[in-house]
A = this chain, B = another copy of it.
């Protein structure tokens, strides 16, 4: 067999985000505070120049223990899968050593995201094993500044519900939208094949 060095993960966090994760007071007990935290990640990702205006995190649902974070890293890692939600889910699975965050041996987990999932991240949610998704901005808010969010099923919330996943929308939406609008106002790239997210 030819030896093969594993490439680094497209979901590997930039150093500022590793620091943020390690210095964060834990747990974060309310939905509002969890959302405030991921909105700050989105804003910091823009400020630090490491990617688009999206942040996400995985928490233990009941305790609010922070398990992992993600920010948009598409440009910096040169991988179109590297959305904030995908990074947070992958990093949580790596941290816990389990591809199923809903495994019987684990407490329930939830994904908190500064913006509703695009078509890819929506599709990834059931496979990840999280049992709850909490969203800030709407997909239409990201589309309003030029991102394509893809075509989800019209009844995407119901499709997640059918798989045992509850969905909360519009939490701190105004604050989440402010990050998107600031990104656009300061000339942030709407990257991709045709202004795609």
Contacts and interface: CB of A to CB of B under 8 A. Distances in A.
B86 A81 contact: yes
A13 B4 contact: yes
A176 to B, nearest CB: 21
A15 B8 contact: no
A81 B127 contact: yes
Contact of A1 (B16, B81, B197): B16
This chain's copy number in the assembly: 2
B194 A163 contact: yes
Interface residues of A, number: 64
B8 A102 contact: no
Which secondary structure characterizes the binding site on chain A?
loop
Interface in A1-19: 1-4, 6-13, 15-16, 18-19
26 contacts: A1-B18, A2-B18, A4-B12, A7-B8, A7-B12, A7-B94, A8-B8, A74-B99, A74-B127, A78-B93, A78-B98, A79-B90, A80-B100, A80-B129, A81-B81, A81-B89, A81-B127, A100-B191, A122-B123, A123-B123, A123-B124, A126-B150, A126-B196, A129-B193, A151-B159, A164-B194
Interface of A: 1-4, 6-13, 15-16, 18-19, 22, 74-75, 77-82, 86, 89-90, 93-94, 97-100, 102-103, 118-124, 126-129, 148, 150-154, 156, 159, 162-164, 191-194, 196-197
Given A7-B11, A122-B123, A127-B150, 6 more contacts: A2-B22, A10-B94, A82-B99, A100-B193, A151-B159, A152-B153
